[in-house]
């Protein structure tokens, strides 16, 4: 086998390995939907999705953030990190309820949940 | 002429020769006027009497008015007087373009009044023969959290039959908000996917959010402007679900919630649903749950089958299993009027 052909085959195999690894890595980091935990009050967790983390951890972070959020008052906000995650919230609220979308990040790990809470 | 014995001053005319008429002349004038009144407007005296409240006065006026009216009716004088004096108070000229027979006057043209169609009438309410019952194939029970456990109770009552029951609650959602889902889009997707020929919608627990009104301005709950925007959204959903008359819709009103703030919203939501469904009352039944669960305001419990039972969940918003079972039975009574299954 000529040397140039051997080098070409080697390069092609290497590219294949790198491409497969990249695809696998991307797959591991894609967000996936989980079943949301039961809301500990009057309302619902209406969605939960996680990225680079298990659904079980996602549910733990969700509940921990909700506890932090409602510790001061039912319509309160959480300004601390939760289980090492830093969270931000976007909400719509009226006198009777709050609709919120919370995103918690820890490095590449991400937990996103939405909730509807009756006040 | 001897001086008067009382304090009458009538003699001052006689002193100067100014008296022209006698009392008899006055009596003749009044009699003549009365005669003319009877001949020309006798019917008016009768009409005035007929419009009076019962009593002695009415009896006296009618005693005169009835014969006076009969005389006037028999003569052509009243009609002639109307013709002669009509110019004193002419009627406004009527425009032929405003006639009922000019289609544009009612249903379009510049007036832009939408037409009322036969779909707006429930045959039962006008004594017309009911539409023939159709076979129920697919029943969709959907809405927000209010629609559960109603969906499972309806399924339970229909179990073993041929009806396919689809329960599709979307918890925490609302028509006045699109934070989680847009019900305009969702209703279209449900119809496209399932083609239900009966749709039960129980929604309204999470309403009261500001919405974009005409011109894109934000409208806050809960005045007539907000009700109109909300009703327009409901109307669009209903039009989607009814599938050009191929399906029947059972829109369930919200029973009064415990909280006063929520009562304010649910009242507007229920009224908006009533208004929104008017064009298709032959195809849409609005079920008044207030009459069942909260006829005199919020209550946790009521008599069900003769036994006092709790029918609401502790949140004071939702129906519990018992309440949902009662509503499901009421609902199926309504569905049986339109379908066989």
Predicted ipTM? 0.75
Partners of residue B317 in chain A, C-beta under 8 Å: 42, 118
Which of A37, A49, A94, A115 should be substituted to probe chain B, the one whose Cβ sees the most B Cβ atoms within 10 Å? A94
pLDDT score, position A15: 57
- Segments of chain B scoring below 50 in pLDDT: none
Structure confidence by residue, pLDDT tens digits, B212-239: 999 999 999 999 999 999 999 999 999 9
Partners of residue A35 in chain B, C-beta under 8 Å: none
Structure confidence by residue, pLDDT tens digits, A2-16: 666 666 666 665 555
pLDDT score, position A23: 47
Find the helix or strand (DSSP H, E) in which A49 lies: strand A43-51
CA dihedral B48, B49, B54, B60 (to 10 degrees): 140
pLDDT score, position B179: 87
How many Å separate Cα A86 from the centre of its chain? 11
Structure confidence by residue, pLDDT tens digits, A16-26: 544 544 444 44
Q: Give the number of residues written for chain B.
A: 341
Q: Report chain B's mean pLDDT, rounded to a whole number.
A: 91
pTM listed for this prediction: 0.74
Structure confidence by residue, pLDDT tens digits, A27-70: 456 899 999 999 999 999 999 999 999 999 999 999 999 999 99
pLDDT score, position A18: 47
Give how far A90 is from chain B: nearest CA, Å. 11
Structure confidence by residue, pLDDT tens digits, B303-322: 999 999 999 999 999 999 99
Q: Are B216 and B158 in contact (CB under 8 A)?
A: no
Burial string for B21-59 (b: 16+ CB within 10 Å, else e) reads: eeeeeeeeeeeeeeeeebbbbbbebbeebeeeeeeeebe
């Amino acid at each position: 086998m000529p040397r140039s052909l051997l080098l070409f085959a080697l390069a092609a195999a290497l590219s294949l390995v790198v491409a497969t690894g990249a695809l696998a890595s991307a797959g591991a980091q894609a967000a996936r939907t989980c079943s949301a935990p039961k809301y500990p009050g009057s309302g619902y967790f209406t969605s939960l999705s996680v990225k680079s983390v298990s659904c079980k951890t996602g549910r733990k972070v969700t509940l921990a953030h909700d506890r932090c959020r409602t510790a001061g008052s039912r319509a309160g906000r959480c300004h601390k990190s939760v289980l090492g995650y830093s969270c931000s919230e976007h909400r719509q609220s009226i006198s009777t309820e709050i609709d919120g979308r919370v995103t918690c990040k820890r490095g590449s790990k991400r937990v996103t949940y939405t909730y509807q809470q009756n006040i | 002429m001897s001086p008067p014995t009382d304090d009458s001053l009538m003699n001052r005319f006689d002193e100067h020769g100014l008296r022209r008429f006698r009392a008899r002349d006055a009596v003749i004038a009044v009699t003549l006027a009365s005669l003319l009144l009877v001949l020309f407007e006798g019917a008016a005296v009768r009409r005035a009497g007929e419009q009076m409240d019962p009593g002695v006065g009415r009896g006296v006026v009618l005693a005169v008015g009835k014969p006076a009216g009969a005389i006037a009716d028999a003569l052509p004088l009243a009609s002639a007087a109307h013709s002669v004096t009509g110019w004193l108070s002419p009627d406004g000229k009527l425009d032929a373009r405003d006639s009922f027979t000019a289609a544009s006057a009612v249903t379009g043209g510049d007036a832009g009044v939408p037409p009322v169609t036969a779909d707006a009438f429930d045959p039962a309410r006008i004594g017309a023969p009911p539409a023939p019952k159709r076979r129920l194939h697919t029943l969709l029970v959907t809405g927000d959290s209010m629609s559960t456990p109603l969906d499972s109770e309806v399924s339970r009552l229909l179990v073993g039959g041929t009806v396919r029951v689809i329960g599709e609650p979307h918890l925490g959602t609302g028509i006045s908000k699109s934070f989680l889902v847009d019900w305009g889009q969702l209703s279209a997707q449900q119809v496209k996917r399932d083609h239900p020929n009966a749709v039960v919608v129980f929604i309204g627990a999470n309403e009261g959010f500001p919405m974009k009104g005409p011109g894109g301005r934000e409208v806050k709950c809960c005045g007539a402007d907000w009700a109109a925007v909300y009703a327009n959204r409901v109307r669009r959903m209903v039009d989607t679900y009814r599938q050009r008359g191929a399906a029947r819709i059972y829109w369930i009103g919200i029973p009064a919630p415990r909280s006063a703030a929520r009562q304010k919203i649910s009242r507007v939501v229920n009224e908006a649903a009533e208004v929104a469904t008017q064009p298709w009352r032959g195809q849409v039944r609005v079920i008044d749950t207030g009459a069942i669960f909260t006829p005199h305001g919020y209550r946790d419990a009521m008599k069900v089958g003769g036994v006092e039972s709790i029918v609401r969940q502790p949140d004071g918003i939702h129906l519990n299993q018992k309440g949902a079972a009662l509503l499901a039975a009421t609902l199926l009574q309504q569905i049986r009027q339109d379908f066989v299954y």
